[in-house]
Structure 1
Amino acid sequence: MQKRILVIVTMLLFTCLLMAQKTVEIGSHKLDNNIHMLTGPGGNIAVSVGQDGVFIVDDLYAHHYTKVTEAINKITPQKVRFVINTHWHADHSGGNELFAVKQKSTILAHDNVRKTMSEPQMIQYFKSLKPASPPKALPVVTYSKTMTLHFNGDNVVLFHVPNAHTDGDSIVHFQKSNIMHMGDTFFKGRYPFIDQDHGGSIKGIINAANVVLKIANEETKIIPGHGSVANTKDLTSYRDMLIKVEKTVSALIKENLTLKEIIAKDPLADLNPIWGQGFMKADLFLTILFDDLREE
């Protein structure tokens, strides 16, 4: 009887996975002659296509590999030579192993991404335990501060912004194309998730936005970790919102209010209609900020 139940459950899970695969849609947006942005149920992907081949920034979850490769194949038949991970979360790095095995792709990321993926990880806010990634999924080329990829006629600069979304965030700057992929240091039009369990902080995210705004100009196309393609105006609004939130919550903490008391005050009420419509709702965002800023 137990074996029959196990078989039925396994079949149901397999059926659900197949149905999920069929319903997933990957959008494709051409940003210039060489760079495309893919959107789907996870982190945004940048695709660079040219005479040197193909490389991508982030690769969604593992079970989206087929859909992602189908979207890339509509742009070019070439295999992916390099995969850059902006950070370690599975919606940005889950496809690593499949790209490494099936397309012989080389994985690149910050030093801390390899370190984190090599061990089991817990995100307390979601009670989410992720096992260590298999060896083939790990980045094989890592860097500490900055690294440049000279590819498809562009200088693609990876640089680390410390303790922002995580402790291993990379921002990817296509210098000649004037395009920047910010990973999850930028959630367009919504509150960000700050992975405090893995070194993230609101001050670090504000700093990441300031760093990009110093480099970018009005013509720069900015790929957020989540949301549609953005510009410096969008990023400035996001940065200003975070500064306001940080000041507001810090002031309440200095009044020795408890988390429950802060949530009851609803200090983000004026921001929620615009910024609180993503998966990160105000109460959880306040909880993360309370833990982050209280530690200071």
Structure 2
Amino acid sequence: MPLSALNQQTKRKPIANLLALTVLASMTLSGQSFADDKFKDVTITSKQLTDTTFMFTGSGGNIGVSAGTDGILIIDDQFAPLAEKITASLNNIQPGLPKYIVNTHYHGDHTGGNAHFGEKGTILAHHNVLKRLASDSNTPKSALPVITYTDNISIHFNQDTLDVIHLGPGHTDGDSVVHWQNANVIHMGDLYFKDRFPYIDLDGGGSVLGYRDNVAIILDRIDDKTQIIPGHGDLANKTELLKFKHMLDDSINWMKSEKTQGKTLAQIKKMGVPEEYKLWSWAFINGDKWIETLYKGL
């Protein structure tokens, strides 16, 4: 995430390690020694999905990995101080640094490692990711996407085709999902927070309705055997993503009804979210924050 937005939004979304939120506002993309200390106990965990695809978890957005005869490609790279740990985990799979880095959007818990990995690899992202990262003069050149696209781009790598797809404003205005055609794996970026209310960055070009509609498009694209890497949370399947979509639908319909009745934001917050969705609240996007997002975004 560009540092210019950090003062407004300490909205980096690590579910597994919320301690990172307390230091994010003062971090640079290259990291600082005190920030390194905050991440010293983070472990990068690897889960193998197919012969050549993996999911890494740590602190920040989940990482997708393609590793094989063509080399290594990663999708997102978490926080800057974790770059060496991510590199070590990649080397446990096979030696070498990533040839390609795909950013699903611009937020710092997904692009913090860009400066490190961009020294040797090529970063790809939607045009708006480049625009937002480049708007901060503190962003090093190596952290900027080199290849950008308007809608879609395909990467032919490790005997598979990875379709990188931009669906329009949702979580931000520069979201991409990445779908392995043969492996039948999809990385959703922050268009999916598993079993949690999502963060929709309205100030970063996000859209409540666009978010819901983009999830619907992905549901039509995948099947019951697709393995889904969420931006945050455990590996998921189509049934679990459909549950998330139903929550979005119900939340949108509920908020539209409350606003039609003329209720104020304060009145709706006092009511709280519908009972069936209270457990979707979490430390970063609690019920009040979700209500505020819906109210402002609809």
TM-score, with length taken from structure 1: 0.87
Deviation at 1:17?
A: 3.4
Q: Quick one: structure 1 residues 18 and 265, their matched pair in 2 at CA, closer, same or farther if it must change by over 3 Å?
A: closer
- Alignment match, 1:4: none
Contact 2:197 2:281 in 1 (8 A): yes
Contact 2:97 2:117 in 1 (8 A): no
1:159-238 pair list within 5 angstroms: 159-238=165-244
Amino acid at match of 1:161: L
Residue 63 of structure 2 is aligned to residue 45 of structure 1: yes
Amino acid at match of 1:251: S
Q: Quick one: structure 1 residues 50 and 204, their matched pair in 2 at CA, closer, same or farther if it must change by over 3 Å?
A: same
Amino acid at match of 2:88: E
* Bigger Cα Rg: 1
Q: Quick one: structure 1 residues 264 and 142, their matched pair in 2 at CA, closer, same or farther if it must change by over 3 Å?
A: same
- Alignment match, 2:103: 85
In structure 1, distance between residues paired with 2:255 and 2:66: 40
- Alignment match, 1:114: 130
In structure 1, distance between residues paired with 2:106 and 2:32: 26
Deviation at 1:132?
A: 5.0
Deviation at 1:201?
A: 1.5
Deviation at 1:18?
A: 4.3
- Alignment match, 2:38: 20
In structure 2, distance between residues paired with 1:93 and 1:38: 15
Contact 1:171 1:183 in 2 (8 A): yes
- Structure with higher helix content: 1
In structure 1, distance between residues paired with 2:87 and 2:58: 13
Amino acid at match of 2:193: F
Amino acid at match of 1:111: H
Secondary structure in 2 matching 1:291? helix
Secondary structure in 2 matching 1:22? coil
Amino acid at match of 2:289: L
Contact 1:179 1:221 in 2 (8 A): yes
Query: Which protein, 1 or 2, shows the higher relative CO under an 8 Å CA cutoff with sep ≥ 6?
Result: 2
Q: Quick one: structure 1 residues 214 and 68, their matched pair in 2 at CA, closer, same or farther if it must change by over 3 Å?
A: same
1:38-77 pair list within 5 angstroms: 38-77=56-95
Secondary structure in 2 matching 1:180? strand
- Structure 2 residue runs without a partner (length 5+): 1-30
Amino acid at match of 2:122: T
- Structure 1 residue runs without a partner (length 5+): 1-12, 121-130
For these two proteins, the number of residue pairs brought into alignment is 268
Amino acid at match of 1:118: A
In structure 2, distance between residues paired with 1:133 and 1:15: 18
Among all aligned residue pairs of Structure 1 and Structure 2, give the percentage whose two residues are the same amino acid. Answer: 38
Q: Deviations over 1:231-276 (max 9, x none)?
A: 0000000000000000001111112211101101113332112x11
Deviation at 1:112?
A: 0.7
Secondary structure in 2 matching 1:150? strand
Where in structure 1 do 4 or more consecutive aligned residues deviate above 3 Å?
13-19
TM-score, with length taken from structure 2: 0.87
Aligned-residue CA RMSD (Å):
1.5
Amino acid at match of 1:280: I
Contact 2:114 2:144 in 1 (8 A): yes
Deviation at 1:133?
A: 2.1
